[in-house]
């Protein structure tokens, strides 16, 4: 005992063995359960990918249909959840509401998941995917002042998600297939990313045998920060600030390089990718395609491209291997789909959910010990206690 190595930010520490996601940061490779992210984004649906991430194999047609059906069966959320949503101020940040609502689900589902039963795990998976997607859309409805609505069993997951988010009672809501495809792809690209900050959080919280909803609620909070999932919101805010400032990208690059300035180029850099982020490559192309298909002309996309080019040619960014990450272009697509900026990180959470679930289950099935790092104490030695009258 006694000798402790400090590894701040766990830059060189592996916390577990995992068979879910393979990531090679030098080569820019990302695979879920052995399947390349490029193939999955092109050929699969989000629910198909969720199944593979969680259960290890791509589903057969029958398995997929059953999985979609079983998710549908859990889409009714306890009516009292609506009172909880009502209690939030309208301008509360969606991630704060989502994390609270996920935690509140424990009140209506107090029984822990029996990890020794495959059936119990399967039911918990379906329930979590169903409730989380409904609550995520309700967070948006709350902020818009729309009445809460219900899942339509005749529609697929992504179509339902969009309808639940945007449909208002007075108008018929038609889902645009271009939007469905784009959202499906974005969710797939976010489905898992090995031991990132929020996933590690889910595993550590779950390692105390806290429940699945409680662990995921903690994951939502971890994702919220601008250095992690919150970067997608921060990117658009940065691009808008550049636009408002006259479009001078060099000025912002200079700020990002200035070590006395806390500003960082949002959507740039990654702990593991030191060459390029394969997700960013796919998303950049998707952004072009989606904007063209929807006939949207977003001046922020031009600023993003100019900024990316300037940063990639800059010695500071080159020397540190800083490339655009998944969050750099995703916000531009979300905007084109009509999703408000403050909801972007909720969209990331909806995409990351299967990863969190898979990692939580894996951690429990591996019987991992409680996560409990050590420290090196740097405080005072033993001191004599002073009575309050003498302090
Ligand atoms: N702008 C300017 N400088 C940067 C940036 C940036 N975006 N990212 C890293 N650096 C510099 C950093 O200052 C350091 O420089 P030096 O060696 O001179 O001290 C060097 O690059 C290494 O950075 P680090 O902070 O030690 O790297 P890290 O692995 O701890 O952090 C990161 C990774 C993603 C938190 C960081 O790159 C960052 O803050 N990026 C901006 C936020 C962002 O886009 N986050 C989304 C990440 S991808 C999706 C997700 O995880 O949710």
Look at residue 55 and tell me if it is in a domain.
Answer: yes
Residues with CB under 6 A from ligand 1: 9, 196, 227-229, 231, 256, 264-271, 320, 322, 325-327
CA distances (Å), 164 to each of 119, 128, 168, 175, in order?
Answer: 29, 17, 9, 11
The answer to whether 68 touches 178, Cβ cutoff 8 Å, is no
The domain spanning residue 298 has which CATH number?
1.10.230.10
- d(CA 72, ligand 1 centre) in Å: 40
- Name the residues annotated as catalytic: 270, 327
Q: How many CA atoms lie within 13 A of 228 on its CB side?
A: 21
**Residue at a domain's end among 336, 353, 373:** 336
Give percent above pLDDT 90 in the chain. 92
Shortest-distance atom of ligand 1 to CA 256: 2
> What backbone phi and psi angles, to 5 degrees, belong to 30?
-135, 125
Residue 182's nearest CA partner among 324, 299, 288 is: 288
Look at residue 371 and tell me if it is in a domain.
Answer: no
Both 32 and 47 in one domain: the answer is yes
pLDDT per position as a tens digit, 62-90: 999 999 999 999 999 999 999 999 999 98
**Domain total of the chain:** 2
Both 223 and 323 in one domain: the answer is no
Both 55 and 198 in one domain: the answer is yes
Both 144 and 97 in one domain: the answer is yes
Both 42 and 137 in one domain: the answer is yes
Look at residue 205 and tell me if it is in a domain.
Answer: yes
Both 118 and 219 in one domain: the answer is yes
- d(CA 229, ligand 1 centre) in Å: 13
Shortest-distance atom of ligand 1 to CA 271: 29
Look at residue 7 and tell me if it is in a domain.
Answer: no
pLDDT per position as a tens digit, 327-375: 999 999 999 999 999 999 999 999 999 999 999 999 999 999 999 999 9
Determine the pLDDT at residue 171. Answer: 85
| ipTM rounded to 2 decimals | 0.97
> By three-state DSSP, how is residue 224 classified?
helix
Both 245 and 180 in one domain: the answer is no
Q: What is the pTM of this model?
A: 0.95
- Burial group, residue 89, by CB count within 10 angstroms (0-12, 13-18, 19+): exposed
- d(CA 251, ligand 1 centre) in Å: 19
Range of 107's domain?
Answer: 18-227+342-365
Both 38 and 107 in one domain: the answer is yes
Both 244 and 292 in one domain: the answer is yes
Determine the pLDDT at residue 198. Answer: 98
Both 153 and 295 in one domain: the answer is no
Look at residue 388 and tell me if it is in a domain.
Answer: no
């Amino acid at each position: 005992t006694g000798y402790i190595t400090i590894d701040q930010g766990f830059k060189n520490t592996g916390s577990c063995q995992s068979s879910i996601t393979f990531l090679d940061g030098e080569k820019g490779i990302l695979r879920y359960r052995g399947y390349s992210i490029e193939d999955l984004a092109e050929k699969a649906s989000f629910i198909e990918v969720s199944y593979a991430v969680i259960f290890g194999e791509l589903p057969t047609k029958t398995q997929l249909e059953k999985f979609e059906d079983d998710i549908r069966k859990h889409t009714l959320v306890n009516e009292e959840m609506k009172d909880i949503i009502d209690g939030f101020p309208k301008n509360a940040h969606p991630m704060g509401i989502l994390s609270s609502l996920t935690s509140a689900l424990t009140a209506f589902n107090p029984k822990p998941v029996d990890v020794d039963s495959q059936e119990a795990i399967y039911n918990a998976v379906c329930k979590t995917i169903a409730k989380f997607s409904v609550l995520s859309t309700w967070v948006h409805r709350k902020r818009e002042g729309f009445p809460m609505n219900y899942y339509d069993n005749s529609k697929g997951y992504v179509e339902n998600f969009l309808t639940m988010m945007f449909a208002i009672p007075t108008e018929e809501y038609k889902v645009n297939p271009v939007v469905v495809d784009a959202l499906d792809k974005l969710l797939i690209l976010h489905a898992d990313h090995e031991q990132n900050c929020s996933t590690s959080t889910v595993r550590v919280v779950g390692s105390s045998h806290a429940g699945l909803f409680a662990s995921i609620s903690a994951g939502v909070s971890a994702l919220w920060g601008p250095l992690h999932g919150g970067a997608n919101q921060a990117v658009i805010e940065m691009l808008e600030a550049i636009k408002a400032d006259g479009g001078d990208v060099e000025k912002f690059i200079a700020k990002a390089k200035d070590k006395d300035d806390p500003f960082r180029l949002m959507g740039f850099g990654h702990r593991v990718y030191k060459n390029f982020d394969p997700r960013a490559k796919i998303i950049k192309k998707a952004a072009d395609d989606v904007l063209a298909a929807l006939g949207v002309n977003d001046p922020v996309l031009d600023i993003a491209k100019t900024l990316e080019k300037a940063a990639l040619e800059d010695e500071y960014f080159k020397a540190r291997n800083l490339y655009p990450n998944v969050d750099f272009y995703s916000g531009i697509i979300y905007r084109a789909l009509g999703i408000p900026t403050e909801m972007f990180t909720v969209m990331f959470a909806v995409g990351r959910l299967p990863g969190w679930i898979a990692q939580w289950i894996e951690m429990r099935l591996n019987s991992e010990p409680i996560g409990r790092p050590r420290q090196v104490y740097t405080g005072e030695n033993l001191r004599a206690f002073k009575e309050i009258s003498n302090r």
